[in-house]
Amino acid sequence: MKAVMLKPEHKLALVDVPKPSLDGPGQILVKVTGAAICGSDVHIKYGDIPIAPETVIGHEFVGVVAEAAPDVQYFKPGDRVNTAACLWCGCCPACRRGEVQYCQVGGIWGGGFFKGRPLPGAQTEYVQVFNADMCAVPIPDNVPDEQAILVGDVLGTGYHSVVEGGVGPGDTVAVFGCGPVGLAALASLQLFGPARVFAIDVLPNRLALAEKFGAEIIDASKTDAVSEILGRTDMNGVDVAIEAAGLPVCFTQALNILRRGGSLSVVGLFPESVQLNLPILGLSGVRLSMGLGNLGSMRTLMNLLENGRLDLSSLITHHFPLSEAMEAYDLFENHKNECIKVMLRP
């Protein structure tokens, strides 16, 4: 079967790999019907997230169950399924705390491990899914692949950023970065009742989508985001800022527009270090949360999609057959044709 593989010198290639098969309890074999390209896949390509060459990449996928181990309770052949970007055991101390993203024996598809076994990526035709009853969710009939695929990473991470920020009714919020995760955060904010939301980016098509999600948009290529937000809030700043861009300048700006005692929720992936002015931050009482998105809310989010409380149909803007994966990466990586998110179809 075909798969997108990381090669040396920051190259990707479409190669032939063996089709996986079930070899133990708790597993399902998923025939992939859609695999998305994530910004972290581009980070992997350039070595910002180090994984070994000759690794199949990709961690966002949906599909149909082709086979299920006898002990699997919730899935049978023919079921549509979405699997989390990371697998977790459910038993270790981190999982028992509800922090499944920090599972001690789990990992991400495409470079990670689960209980010591490598997890080849999902930009391929079939994926062997471990611990399926815990780490996968069924897709309702009325939820298309284009929305379901977001639950296992993009939407789960965006929703997590809002929860970690402690957003509540009447709050003022700023979201830095209107890529897929930032847009998912903006969509999720609608569930928490903030009074005002600012969205900061430099790409007009992303800002246009942010405006549709109810945000006041700020084009950071034309104005200073800090001055603009402080001016619009009578110098009070915001209650919560969400950093979804993974850029040091956005991280610093987000801190600078927080009110005293405000919260900064960081889900962006950073390619370099950021300096913190701890004396000022300590006196300001700023609360900072950061790390991987908690994907334990997948069933909740799928239910919200099923019942029309969330609509992310505008995020998947382009489709490519798996055979044209290199063209898809070029479009996504270089923001061509107003691309937000790409789905590969095996």
Q: What is the DSSP letter of 70?
A: T
Position 179 scores a pLDDT of 96
Q: What is the DSSP letter of 214?
A: T
Position 292 scores a pLDDT of 85
Interstrand relation of 112-114 and 107-108 (parallel, antiparallel or unpaired) = unpaired
Contact 272, 249 (CB under 8 A): no
Burial class (CB in 10 A: 0-12, 13-18, 19+), 23: exposed
CA–CA distance, 126 with 132 (Å, rounded to integer): 15
Token pair, residue 217, equals: 């948009």
Token pair, residue 106, equals: 């789990």
First-residue to last-residue Cα distance in the chain: 10
- Is the entire prediction scored with pTM above 0.75? yes
User: Contacts from 323-331 at CB under 8 Å and sequence distance 24+?
Assistant: 323/2, 323/14, 325/4, 325/12, 325/14, 325/123, 326/12, 326/13, 326/14, 328/37, 329/12, 329/37, 329/41, 329/42, 329/45
Contact 4, 58 (CB under 8 A): yes
Position 291 scores a pLDDT of 87
CA–CA distance, 88 with 19 (Å, rounded to integer): 23
The pair phi, psi for residue 290, each rounded to 5°, is -155, 165
pLDDT, tens digit only, all 346 positions of the chain: 999 999 998 899 999 999 999 999 999 999 999 999 999 999 899 888 889 999 999 999 999 999 999 999 999 999 999 999 999 999 999 999 999 999 999 999 999 999 999 999 999 999 999 999 999 999 999 999 999 999 999 999 999 999 999 999 999 999 999 999 999 999 999 999 999 999 999 999 999 999 999 999 999 999 999 999 999 999 999 999 999 999 999 999 999 999 999 999 999 988 788 888 888 788 889 999 998 889 999 999 999 999 999 999 999 999 999 999 999 999 999 999 999 999 999 9
In order, the DSSP letters of 267-331 are -PPPSS-----HHHHHHHT-EEEESSPPGGGHHHHHHHHHTTS---TTTEEEEEEGGGHHHHHHH
The pair phi, psi for residue 254, each rounded to 5°, is -60, -40
Position 283 scores a pLDDT of 82
| Domains contained in the chain, CATH given | 2-150+315-345 (3.90.180.10), 158-290 (3.40.50.720)
Cα angle value 330/346/115 (rounded, 5°): 95
Please choose, from the candidates 164, 138, 136, 140, the residue with its C-alpha nearest in 3D space to the C-alpha of residue 152.
136
Token pair, residue 223, equals: 């104005």
Helix (H, G, I), strand (E, B) or coil at 332: helix
Helices 248-256 and 225-232: crossing angle, nearest 10°?
20
CA–CA distance, 75 with 206 (Å, rounded to integer): 37
Q: Which residues, in sequence order, are CB contacts of 308 under 8 Å at separation 6+?
A: none
CA–CA distance, 225 with 229 (Å, rounded to integer): 6
The pair phi, psi for residue 340, each rounded to 5°, is -105, -55
